[in-house]
Amino acid sequence: MHVKIKSSELYKQIYDLVLAKIDRKEWKEHEKLPSVRRMAEELNVNRLTVLRAYQLLKEHKKIYAKEKSGYFVQPEDPSFSLNESQLPEITDYPYSNLLSSIHQVVVDYQFSQALIDPNLLPNSYLSEYVKKVFTLYPKVLGTYSTVQGDEELRTALSDYFYKTHHFFAPIDELLITSGAQQAIDLVAKVLLRANDTVLVERPTYSSAIDIFRQYGARIIGIEIGQGGYDLNQLEHILKKDKPRFFYTNPTFNNPTGCTISALQRKQLVELAEKYQCVIVEDDPFRDIYFDKAPPFPIYSYDTDGYVIYIRSFSKYVSPGLRVAAVACRHPLMSHLITSKSLADNGTALINQKMFLHYFFSERMQIHLEKLRTALFLRKEVMRNELAATSWKWTDPSGGLNLWVELPEQISVEKLLDACLEQSISFVPGSICDPDQALRSWIRLSFSYANEIQLQTGMKKLMTVAETINSDSTYHQSG
């Protein structure tokens, strides 16, 4: 199938260039494409740009990837060949999810995914709950969930939030979504018009930036650090830029691990009310703490309905179940429910029931305790390896990541390219920044790789960084 594109950005031009060569049969079916590195050198562009173009070509089934061998021209499927008049025209590329492009590269040392090692998840217990759910609800596969989510689950969550999160959300103010990612998307769909301003933390969860951009938002950032935000600056932004909402991840922020104090949470709600700015609180790491439990959610301070609370459970129950909950007041909730009905008519009922029975079991508490210890140990392993460098990093008291600042002379882009070639992945800090600066920072997730992989992979990463460092010193002095 041939795609007509209005191209403007660099990776789109590379996409076009490769596509043209394939269409002209200069590159034939199953022929290997130049490696990402070679293509980047030839075109004098960043390797991540080539990677983005290749990923998009892969998504559009123009090329395919073979593990550790590279990219190859996809043979045409005769059943899909359309003539020119049948060609769909796409107006532009969707904003690609940069994080997902990095995750798609298969590596031995996975430090890019803020995802828990599946070996640490209660897989065999979960399968017991599958059986239990079929016994309890024999018709579960023959039934739709309600759009808003299973009532039994919402009732249990309402009670859970009241007891553990210090807020009361009646069941009609709760919506079950297919992961927090869907919740962020639904909120953006409901609240954003093109050219609206969205305030985010700097740095923040990069996929949220990509979602807001897709809806045409102008994104501005407010720095988050160990002491939280500069509230004077925040107030100045609220007054001057009138953001439609402030998307925040205030508890073990991804990527920094910073947590906003209870006092700032309260002040934030006051500011939101004063300037009529909705706060979208994304809270997936709340239970992954290494010391003491974090402050209660911002939502618990809200009396006037300015906060939307998104609570994902993917991080420690099962990412595969795709269950998250949103709490907010009406009429906003009614709009979110409409939007959810248009998106998928409700999250799969079987997933909701499995989550319900597993999450509220005693076993869950035991699992959570063990998980905290295992993750703490993995964090320590990564920290110990980093201690051999002169790099700086924050030591988070929860979450899944270390946020690391490299010496200025090490190019993070070059490091990422070289690491991917050595089968190591991480997230470049710039993609977590709405200004795409923070070029000396990287996010290293310690939750996916096991302790041996952490030790070996970190040593390798540091060797690669040393090589790049000495190359740049050589070039500077030479």
* Residue of the chain from 149, 179, 250, 295 that contacts ligand PLP (CB under 6 A): 179
Q: Which is nearer to ligand PLP, 314 or 351 (CB)?
A: 314
Whose Cβ is closer to ligand PLP: residue 175's or residue 324's? 324
Q: Cβ closer to ligand PLP: 311 or 367?
A: 311
Cα-Cα-Cα-Cα torsion 419, 422, 423, 427, nearest 10 degrees, comes to 0
Of the residues 201, 282, 302, 433, which one makes contact with ligand PLP according to CB under 6 A:
282
- Residue with smaller CB distance to ligand PLP, 62 or 165: 165
Asked whether 278 and 307 are in contact (CB, 8 A), the reply is yes
- Name every residue whose Cβ is closer than 8 Å to that of residue 130 and which is 6 or more positions away in sequence: 354
Cα distance between the two ends of the chain: 50
Report, in Å, the least distance between residue 250 CB and ligand PLP: 10
Tokens at 463, concatenated: 């060797």
Whether the Cβ atoms of residue 197 and residue 240 lie closer than 8 Å to each other: no
* Residue 347 engages ligand PLP in binding (rule: CB under 6 A): no
- Which C-beta is closer to ligand PLP: that of 150 or that of 282? 282
Q: Which is nearer to ligand PLP, 282 or 302 (CB)?
A: 282
Select from 284, 297, 346, 429 the one that contacts ligand PLP (CB under 6 A).
284
User: Within 247-276, which residues bind ligand PLP (CB under 6 A)?
Assistant: 249, 254
CB nearer to ligand PLP: give 179 or 221: 179
Taking the complex as a whole, how short is the minimal distance between the CB of residue 449 and ligand PLP, in angstroms? 16
Among 314, 318, 440, 469, binds ligand PLP (CB under 6 A): 314
For residue 76, what is the DSSP state?
Answer: P
**Nearest 5°: phi and psi at 375?**
-70, -40
Return the residues of window 197-256 that contact ligand PLP according to CB under 6 A: 205, 249, 254
Rounded to 10 deg, the angle between the 231-241 and 262-275 helix axes is 20
Cβ(236)–Cβ(118) below 8 Å: no
The correct pick among 157, 176, 324, 464 for binding ligand PLP (CB under 6 A) is 324
Stretch that binds ligand PLP, among 38-46, 296-304, 312-320, 436-444 (CB under 6 A): 312-320
Binders of ligand PLP: how many residues, by CB under 6 A?
13
Cβ 323 vs Cβ 352: under 8 Å = yes
Q: Which residue is nearest to ligand PLP (CB)?
A: 179
Q: Which two tokens stand for residue 472?
A: 């740049």
Which DSSP string do the residues of 106-139 spell out, in sequence order? Answer: --SEE-S-----GGGS-HHHHHHHHHHHHHH-TT
Q: Compute φ and ψ for 64, nearest 5 degrees.
A: -135, 160
- The CA distance from 448 to 228, in Å, is 27
Q: Quick one: which segment of 1-9, 57-65, 178-186, 216-224 binds ligand PLP (CB under 6 A)?
A: 178-186
- Convert 362-414 into a string of H (helix), E (strand) and C (coil): HHHHHHHHHHHHHHHHHHHHHHHHHCCCCCEECCCCECCEEEEECCCCCCHHH
Neighbour count for residue 476 (Cβ, 10 Å): 8
* Count of beta carbons in the 10 Å neighbourhood of residue 88: 9
Q: Which is nearer to ligand PLP, 250 or 457 (CB)?
A: 250
Binder to ligand PLP among 19, 50, 63, 114 (CB under 6 A)? 114
Residue 424 CA to residue 456 CA, distance in Å, equals 10
**What are the tokens at 293?**
């439990």
Q: Which of residues 119-138 bind ligand PLP (CB under 6 A)?
A: none
- Measure the CA–CA gap between 155 and 144, rounded to whole angstroms: 18
| Sequence-separated contacts (24+) of 21-25 with Cβ below 8 Å | 22/62, 22/63, 22/73
Q: Which of 34, 70, 305, 319 binds ligand PLP (CB under 6 A)?
A: 319
Q: Which is nearer to ligand PLP, 129 or 316 (CB)?
A: 316
Give me the least distance between CB of 214 and ligand PLP, in Å please: 16
CB closer to ligand PLP, 257 vs 284: 284
Given the rule CB under 6 A, which of 176-184, 331-339, 359-367, 455-463 is the region that contacts ligand PLP? 176-184
What is the SS3 assignment for 219?
Answer: strand
Near ligand PLP by CB under 6 A: residue from 312, 339, 351, 469: 312
Nearer Cβ to ligand PLP (55/447): 447
User: Where do we find the tokens 């060949």?
Assistant: 81
List of residues contacting ligand PLP (CB under 6 A): 114, 179-181, 205, 249, 254, 282, 284, 312, 314, 319, 324
